[in-house]
Amino acid sequence: MMPGRHRCGDDIIKVYVFDIDGVLVDVSERLRRAKELSEGSRELFWKYFFSKELIELDKPRDIGIRLLIDRLKMGLVAIVTGRPKSLYYITLKQLKAINIPIEQIWRIEMRRDGDYRKSYIVKLERILNIVYEGYEIAEIHDDEEELLYRARIYLPKTRLYLHKNDSVIELFSKKLW
């Protein structure tokens, strides 16, 4: 049974979803170093990519940060990331360092430690859990096309934004049906 919709007056509360890596921060240097250090080992790559030391190489993505701050005025903001929960405190520190007002972030959803499923699967599951709780997802901001394509199937009215390099592209600006 679907729970009731969360409302503010007559309006259903809207949630704006943002990823971190590739949306709020540029991970290109972390990606490069993780590839270099892992010498082709996939397991080592992920170990290095999610290491606290390499996360410090990330740079703020101004466009993603500006959009998140703007959406704080429009509804609830949820951060849904593929990062493991073991990085929760380093993630909070990083978000504070790039001037994200974390006290205004409604929730931060992270991958369970030891969950090695593909990032788009983990993030879509977390997003759909928010919907199941009775909230409406107004927008999803992510750098992973696969997530956005799959989200479109379940959330045809949600606006989907692909973040690449220094730009943001709204996908599927026309209604699905």
Whether pLDDT at 140 is above 60: yes
Q: What is the pTM of this model?
A: 0.90
CA atoms within 13 A on the CB side of 30: 20
Q: How confident is the model at residue 5 (pLDDT cuts 50, 70, 90)?
A: low
Q: Give me the pLDDT at residue 3, please.
A: 52
Q: Which CATH superfamily is domain 7-24+61-171 in?
A: HAD superfamily/HAD-like (3.40.50.1000)
Write down the residue that tokens 């969360």 correspond to: 6
Which amino acid, one-letter code, is at 55? Answer: I
d(CA 6, CA 130): 11
d(CA 136, CA 144): 21
Q: How confident is the model at residue 81 (pLDDT cuts 50, 70, 90)?
A: very high
Q: Give me the pLDDT at residue 177, please.
A: 43
Q: Give me the pLDDT at residue 19, please.
A: 98
Q: How confident is the model at residue 2 (pLDDT cuts 50, 70, 90)?
A: very low
Q: Give me the pLDDT at residue 84, please.
A: 94
Domain boundaries, the chain: 7-24+61-171, 26-59
